[in-house]
Amino acid sequence: MGFLELVNFYIIPGIVLGSIYALGAVGITLIFAILRYAHLAHGDLATLGAFVAFAVVTGIGVSPYAALPVAIVATALVAVGIDKVFYEHLRERPKIITVIASLGIALMVRAVVQVIWGVDSESYVRGISRPDVYFGLRIRDREIYTVLAMLALVGALYVFLSRSKWGKAMRAMSDNPNLALLSGIDNKTVIVLTWVIAGGLCAAAGVFLGINTELKSMMGWQMLLPMFAAAILGGVGRVEGAVLGGLIVGLAEELSVLILPSEYKAATAFVILLFMLLVRPTGILRGKVL
Amino acid sequence: MEFIGLVNYALFMGIFIAIYALLALGLNIQWGFAGLFNAGIAGFFAVGAYTSAIITSAAADGRIGGFELPFLVGWAGAMVAAGLIAWPIGKICLRFRSDYLAIATIGVAEIIRLVIKSEEALTNSARGITGLPRPFGDLPYVESQAAFLLLMIAILFVAYLLVERQFNSPWGRMMRAIRDNELAARAMGKDVEYRRLQAFIFGAALMGLGGALFAHFNRSITPEAIDPMVATFLVWIMLILGGAGNNRGAILGAAVVWIIWSVSEIATDQLPHEYAVKAKYIRLFLIGLLLQLVLRFRPEGLLPEPLRGDQGASRREPKSSARV
């Protein structure tokens, strides 16, 4: 197999898939670090975001890229609402109770999607998109947009976390919640901000998955394991780690086809997850371990 | 519905309640008494079902197994196989907080689903394994169902007695100590990881047995026989609603939830087809909502965990979710 073939059929799709995982993994890593539990409904929120964009695309006939901001805002609002209605009153109880609640929320969000949009596969645009060839590399426009959007969104988040007052408050909550509370950081606002960011980013992950593949009611649930693997691989609480982890998991899934039967592509993320927990649970960039 | 139809339906429902009650008991060992989050119940169920199927079915071309051994051997094999799958997962994940176990068990269930769907030599992939022996399968239909139900009740009763005995023994006290105050238990010299691993494996073995019983009841097992997410979630809501940490609660929860679940299915099946399909998802939504309501308003479940020894001090969490 030539080098170009390897890049065209494995590396490029891997980077695109990895960018999508990265968008979701950033939200998971933030929730893990700030709220301190594994949010199992994350994948299904991504599904919801993708289908909200689908409603906008079919409703007013715009491109999915124009529908992306609507999906991000709507899913962020839903995420904040879910936190207020279902998670807030569990905050004083052991964190694992919230994990159970989030498993139920995953089922509920998926049921809503299935009732409103049904269980059949949908796509934003009909027809086949042909890749353009740049120096022998076959790249589709949508693949460029996916990677660029991921870099822009995560870059903006990175600047927000490192420069702004509220971003620093979020990092303080993640590093040491008691110290942060003692310093007078408004815990409630930090939590709302976390959900806005996590919800918005996971809607973006859902929309880009929908743009690059198709929309299904199970699409988000199937992304959950790779997203968690990415977050743990990069180091829990590290945004740049989640991006790195997402890219590695995406590439590993695509490259796994070279050595494993393609049915087991989805198992790659699980193997990475167990391997990291076994040898280096803090992840590549030294995150935290709960 | 005629009388005989009602009897048949009740027998059918009773058998399913007994199978789900076994799963809920298994989860009770893991979650109720050791605080371990298993989100891959359907995976262990499937391992049990297929193991027993391979051991007891007749030989067939292109597939390993077909040993035609008696069903009791198959059931024992199912428990061993489910426990063996649980062992490495527990070994890796039980060092960390239960969140990691939750994620890993979701992964295990997914891998098991992939193996079942693609390993034709092992599971006959989509067609599944058929022709399993069924205890009392030679009797006329109603008698056969009734005899099978009695067998299920006997198995459930034995499992209940054993698990209950285990919980009241020093081992059970130690498990609760580890769950409620890990640090103190560790300071007393308890090997926390090893004990958790035991609880995880015991629970998984019971789930495997549940899967084997299900397969033999249906005389077949196919990848489509159960919806993994729905089954896993149903067992969780059964245990939480019934009362985590209480074995009778787990069985009661299985009965209540399964009756609600299957009676509501009859109700929605009366609807025109297009609505009936959607109604399934509305029922799923409502069962998810039920979990949220139980967690909020009755976190201890219908039958709370019995207080043993020093009253109140042993509770896992304060009864009122008081907030400041």
Chain B contact probe: residue of A37, A115, A233, A271 with most B CBs at under 10 A: A115
What are the tens digits of pLDDT across the range A214-223?
999 999 999 9
Angle of helix A141-163 versus helix A12-34 axis, rounded to 10: 30
Full-model pTM: 0.91
ipTM score of the complex? 0.90
What are the tens digits of pLDDT across the range B91-104?
988 888 888 999 99
Count of the separate structural domains present in chain A: 1
Q: Is the pLDDT of residue B311 over 60?
A: no
B126: tokens are 């989509």
For B317, which of A93, A108, A273 is closest by C-beta distance?
A: A93
Which of B208-229 are b and which e, b meaning 16 or more Cβ less than 10 Å from the residue's Cβ? bbbbbbbbbbeebbbbebbebb
Judge: A273–B317 Cβ closer than 8 Å, yes or no: no
Question: Taking residues B21-50, what's their average pLDDT?
Answer: 94
Per-residue confidence (pLDDT) for residue B141, from 0 to 100: 83
- Please report, rounded to a whole number, the percentage of residues in chain B having pLDDT higher than 90: 50
In a domain, A130, yes or no: no
Average predicted confidence (pLDDT) for chain B? 87
- The CA distance from B238 to B182, in Å, is 26
In a domain, A136, yes or no: no
| Angle at A207 (CA atoms; ends A205, A212), nearest 5 degrees | 95
What are the tens digits of pLDDT across the range B54-63?
888 877 766 7
B68: tokens are 């035609």
Identify whether the C-beta of residue B107 lies closer than 8 Å to the C-beta of residue A269.
Answer: yes
What are the tens digits of pLDDT across the range B145-169?
899 999 999 999 999 999 999 988 9
Report chain B residues whose CB lies below 8 A from the CB of A47. Answer: none
**Quick check: B233 contacting A, CB < 8 Å?**
yes
Give me the domain span that covers residue A110.
Answer: 3-124+141-279
- The CA distance from A69 to A152, in Å, is 13
- The CA distance from B144 to A76, in Å, is 55
Per-residue confidence (pLDDT) for residue B322, from 0 to 100: 39
In a domain, A163, yes or no: yes
In a domain, A38, yes or no: yes
Judge: B100–A278 Cβ closer than 8 Å, yes or no: no
Q: Is the pLDDT of residue B323 over 70?
A: no
Per-residue confidence (pLDDT) for residue B319, from 0 to 100: 43
pLDDT-derived band at A129, boundaries 50, 70, 90: confident
Name the B residues in 48-107 with CB < 8 Å from any A CB.
89, 92-93, 95-100, 102-104, 106-107
Q: What's the CATH code of the domain at A188?
A: 1.10.3470.10
End-to-end CA distance of chain B: 55
Judge: A107–B282 Cβ closer than 8 Å, yes or no: no
Strand partners, B129: B221
Chain A contact probe: residue of B285, B294, B317, B323 with most A CBs at under 10 A: B285
**What domains can you pick out in chain B, each with its CATH number?**
13-297 (1.10.3470)
Chain A contact probe: residue of B257, B282, B295 with most A CBs at under 10 A: B295
Q: Is the pLDDT of residue B308 over 70?
A: no
Judge: A100–B295 Cβ closer than 8 Å, yes or no: yes
A127: tokens are 């027809």
pLDDT-derived band at A55, boundaries 50, 70, 90: very high
Judge: B114–A264 Cβ closer than 8 Å, yes or no: yes
In a domain, A72, yes or no: yes
Q: Left (φ > 0), alpha (ψ -120 to 50) or beta: where does B124 sit? A: left
In a domain, A172, yes or no: yes
For chain B, the three-class secondary structure string (H helix, E strand, C coil) is CCHHHHHHHHHHHHHHHHHHHHHHHHHHHHHHCCCCCCCCHHHHHHHHHHHHHHHHCCCCCCCCCCCCCCHHHHHHHHHHHHHHHHHHHHHHHCCCCHHHHHHHHHHHHHHHHHHHHHCHHHHCHHHCEECCCCCCCCCCHHHHHHHHHHHHHHHHHHHHHHHHHHHHCHHHHHHHHHHHCHHHHHHCCCCHHHHHHHHHHHHHHHHHHHHHHHHHHHCEECCCCCCHHHHHHHHHHHHHHHCCCCHHHHHHHHHHHHHHHHHHHHHHHCCCHHHHHHHHHHHHHHHHHHHHHHHHHCCCCCCCCCCCCCCCCCCCCCCCCCCC
Report chain A residues whose CB lies below 8 A from the CB of B282. Answer: 111, 115
In a domain, A129, yes or no: no
**Quick check: B35 contacting A, CB < 8 Å?**
yes
In a domain, A285, yes or no: no
